[in-house]
Protein backbone atom coordinates (compact mmCIF):
# COMPACT_ATOMS: atom_id res chain seq x y z
CA UNK A 1 0.00 0.00 0.00
CA UNK A 2 1.37 3.37 -0.92
CA UNK A 3 0.13 6.59 0.58
CA UNK A 4 -0.20 9.74 -1.40
CA UNK A 5 -1.63 13.18 -0.93
CA UNK A 6 -4.95 13.66 -2.63
CA UNK A 7 -4.55 16.18 -5.43
CA UNK A 8 -7.90 17.61 -4.57
CA UNK A 9 -8.29 17.76 -0.79
CA UNK A 10 -4.68 17.13 0.20
CA UNK A 11 -5.46 14.25 2.53
CA UNK A 12 -3.28 11.16 2.62
CA UNK A 13 -4.90 8.21 0.97
CA UNK A 14 -4.14 4.74 -0.25
CA UNK A 15 -2.97 5.17 -3.82
CA UNK A 16 -4.83 2.98 -6.28
CA UNK A 17 -4.02 4.50 -9.60
CA UNK A 18 -5.96 7.74 -9.18
CA UNK A 19 -4.42 11.01 -8.12
CA UNK A 20 -7.26 11.75 -5.71
CA UNK A 21 -8.81 9.97 -2.71
CA UNK A 22 -12.01 7.93 -2.88
CA UNK A 23 -14.21 10.81 -1.73
CA UNK A 24 -12.73 13.19 -4.24
CA UNK A 25 -12.83 10.61 -6.99
CA UNK A 26 -16.60 10.86 -6.88
CA UNK A 27 -16.41 14.67 -7.17
CA UNK A 28 -13.76 14.37 -9.86
CA UNK A 29 -15.94 12.07 -11.92
CA UNK A 30 -18.85 14.41 -11.45
CA UNK A 31 -16.83 17.48 -12.47
CA UNK A 32 -15.34 15.65 -15.38
CA UNK A 33 -18.77 14.68 -16.65
CA UNK A 34 -19.93 18.29 -16.45
CA UNK A 35 -16.88 19.57 -18.27
CA UNK A 36 -17.14 16.86 -20.86
CA UNK A 37 -20.77 17.62 -21.51
CA UNK A 38 -20.10 21.33 -21.89
CA UNK A 39 -17.09 20.72 -24.09
CA UNK A 40 -19.02 18.43 -26.40
CA UNK A 41 -21.40 21.31 -27.11
CA UNK A 42 -18.76 24.03 -26.98
CA UNK A 43 -15.60 22.42 -28.27
CA UNK A 44 -13.78 25.72 -28.36
CA UNK A 45 -14.45 26.68 -24.74
CA UNK A 46 -11.44 27.86 -22.82
CA UNK A 47 -10.71 26.94 -19.22
CA UNK A 48 -12.20 30.07 -17.70
CA UNK A 49 -15.37 29.80 -19.72
CA UNK A 50 -15.63 26.13 -18.80
CA UNK A 51 -15.20 26.92 -15.17
CA UNK A 52 -17.86 29.61 -15.28
CA UNK A 53 -20.33 27.45 -17.17
CA UNK A 54 -19.88 24.29 -15.11
CA UNK A 55 -18.97 25.72 -11.73
CA UNK A 56 -15.87 23.51 -11.67
CA UNK A 57 -12.79 25.08 -10.16
CA UNK A 58 -10.23 26.04 -12.85
CA UNK A 59 -7.61 24.31 -10.69
CA UNK A 60 -9.49 21.05 -11.19
CA UNK A 61 -9.83 21.65 -14.93
CA UNK A 62 -6.15 22.38 -15.22
CA UNK A 63 -5.33 19.21 -13.30
CA UNK A 64 -7.44 17.20 -15.76
CA UNK A 65 -5.43 18.79 -18.53
CA UNK A 66 -2.14 18.02 -16.84
CA UNK A 67 -3.24 14.45 -16.34
CA UNK A 68 -4.04 14.27 -20.03
CA UNK A 69 -7.71 13.50 -19.43
CA UNK A 70 -8.84 16.68 -21.01
CA UNK A 71 -7.49 18.29 -24.11
CA UNK A 72 -8.38 21.90 -24.55
CA UNK A 73 -6.95 23.30 -27.71
CA UNK A 74 -5.98 26.89 -27.03
CA UNK A 75 -5.83 27.59 -30.75
CA UNK A 76 -9.49 26.81 -31.13
CA UNK A 77 -10.42 28.42 -27.85
CA UNK A 78 -9.97 31.92 -26.64
CA UNK A 79 -7.43 33.24 -29.05
CA UNK A 80 -4.46 34.82 -27.39
CA UNK A 81 -2.19 37.18 -29.17
CA UNK A 82 1.02 38.72 -28.07
CA UNK A 83 0.16 42.19 -26.79
CA UNK A 84 3.30 43.51 -28.39
CA UNK A 85 3.83 41.94 -31.81
CA UNK A 86 0.42 40.32 -32.34
CA UNK A 87 1.75 36.82 -32.87
CA UNK A 88 -0.63 34.10 -31.69
CA UNK A 89 0.42 32.59 -28.39
CA UNK A 90 -0.82 29.83 -26.12
CA UNK A 91 -0.71 31.60 -22.80
CA UNK A 92 0.26 34.78 -21.09
CA UNK A 93 0.24 38.23 -22.64
CA UNK A 94 3.40 38.18 -24.69
CA UNK A 95 5.20 35.72 -26.89
CA UNK A 96 8.50 34.50 -25.50
CA UNK A 97 10.46 36.81 -27.81
CA UNK A 98 8.60 39.88 -26.69
CA UNK A 99 8.65 38.77 -23.07
CA UNK A 100 12.43 38.65 -23.24
CA UNK A 101 12.55 41.92 -25.10
CA UNK A 102 10.31 43.56 -22.51
CA UNK A 103 12.42 42.29 -19.69
CA UNK A 104 15.45 43.87 -21.33
CA UNK A 105 13.57 47.10 -21.93
CA UNK A 106 12.44 47.19 -18.33
CA UNK A 107 16.00 46.77 -17.19
CA UNK A 108 17.13 49.45 -19.59
CA UNK A 109 14.30 51.72 -18.52
CA UNK A 110 15.27 51.26 -14.92
CA UNK A 111 18.81 52.26 -15.74
CA UNK A 112 17.58 55.16 -17.77
CA UNK A 113 15.30 56.31 -14.96
CA UNK A 114 18.18 56.19 -12.57
CA UNK A 115 20.27 58.28 -14.94
CA UNK A 116 17.36 60.59 -15.56
CA UNK A 117 17.04 61.23 -11.88
CA UNK A 118 20.66 62.18 -11.86
CA UNK A 119 20.83 64.51 -14.84
CA UNK A 120 17.16 65.57 -14.74
CA UNK A 121 16.75 65.06 -18.46
CA UNK A 122 13.17 65.06 -19.61
CA UNK A 123 11.28 63.72 -22.66
CA UNK A 124 13.65 60.93 -23.48
CA UNK A 125 11.81 58.03 -21.95
CA UNK A 126 8.66 56.84 -23.67
CA UNK A 127 6.21 54.75 -21.79
CA UNK A 128 4.87 51.60 -23.43
CA UNK A 129 1.53 53.34 -23.94
CA UNK A 130 2.84 56.28 -25.86
CA UNK A 131 4.90 53.92 -28.00
CA UNK A 132 1.81 51.88 -28.83
CA UNK A 133 -0.25 54.94 -29.77
CA UNK A 134 2.37 56.11 -32.21
CA UNK A 135 2.22 52.91 -34.24
Which residue stretch of 23-31, 34-42, 70-78, 114-122 sits at the interface with Zn ion (rule: CB under 5 A)? 23-31
Q: Is 8 in the site for Zn ion (CB under 5 A)?
A: yes
Q: Is 102 in the site for Zn ion (CB under 5 A)?
A: no
Please give the helix or strand (H or E) that residue 109 lies within, else none: helix 96-119
Q: Is 24 in the site for Zn ion (CB under 5 A)?
A: yes
From the list 75, 45, 76, the residue with the least C-alpha distance to 61 is 45
Quick count: other Cβ atoms within 10 Å of Cβ 24?
Answer: 20
Q: Is 84 in the site for Zn ion (CB under 5 A)?
A: yes
Minimum distance from CB of 28 to Zn ion (Å)?
9
Distance CA 29, CA 125 (A): 55
Task: Give the interface size with Zn ion as a residue count (CB under 5 A).
Answer: 11
Q: Single out the residue of 5, 6, 40, 61 in contact with Zn ion (rule: CB under 5 A).
A: 6
Q: Single out the residue of 47, 70, 80, 95 in contact with Zn ion (rule: CB under 5 A).
A: 95
Distance CA 65, CA 83 (A): 25
- What burial class does residue 31 get, using C-beta atoms within 10 Å of its C-beta: 0-12 exposed, 13-18 middle, 19+ buried? buried
Q: Single out the residue of 39, 53, 82, 102 in contact with Zn ion (rule: CB under 5 A).
A: 82
Which residue stretch of 54-62, 71-79, 90-98, 108-116 sits at the interface with Zn ion (rule: CB under 5 A)? 90-98
Please list, in sequence order, all residues whose beta carbon lies within 8 angstroms of the beta carbon of residue 13, skipping any fewer than 6 positions away.
Answer: 3, 4, 5, 6, 20, 21, 22
The residues binding Zn ion (CB under 5 A) are 6, 8-9, 21, 24, 82, 84-85, 87, 95, 98
Amino acid sequence: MSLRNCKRCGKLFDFQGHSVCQTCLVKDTDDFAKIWEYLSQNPSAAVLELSRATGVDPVVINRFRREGRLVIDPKKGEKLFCASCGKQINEGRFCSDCANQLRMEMLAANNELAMQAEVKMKGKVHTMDSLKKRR
